[in-house]
Amino acid sequence: MRVHIATDHAGLELSTHLISALSAKGYEMVDHGPTEYDAEDDYPSFCINAASAVVADQAAGMDALGIVLGGSGNGEQIAANKVKGARAALAWNLSTATLAREHNDANVVAVGGRQHSVEEATEIIEAFLAEPFSNAERHERRIGKIASYETTGEVAE
């Protein structure tokens, strides 16, 4: 599986750890930056680029997911969700990580690097990457309604 990763300065240490740890587990890691610490960096471009790459890879039939990191993960999740086709979920424990995949077919996980130890954040992200989508009809229907709104701007009943 290809995994696109992006961060802001607050998640840079975690990002570096994840690139190494997940590569060792066989994931193809693609780093969308930043490459060095800058407390004044603007994370939206990094996160939007990562989410865009996930959507493009999935559209091409590739098995791909994304990770966006920050201090809280909130802004990074918001930025990723601006990409058409991205479904970014903020995960703060194992349950929210697995449910994001199982019920929402989330394709990007957001995690706050200042909210967890490196070990805990790694467990959350590994759980997200390992969990398959359930393909349950009700979840597919709900995701379809979100995608329809994203495309048409009309709320489906």
9 is catalytic: no
Instruction: Choose, from 13, 17, 102, 103, the residue flagged as catalytic.
Output: 103
DSSP-derived pairing of the beta strands 108-112 and 28-31 = unpaired
Residue 35 tokens read as 């490459």
Collect all residues with Cβ–Cβ distance below 8 Å to 26 and sequence separation of at least 6: none
Nearest one of 53, 63, 121 to 86, comparing CA atoms: 53
- Torsion angle of the four alpha carbons 46, 50, 53, 54, in this order, in degrees rounded to the nearest 10: -160
CB 148 within 8 A of CB 140: no
139 is catalytic: no
Active site residues: 76, 103
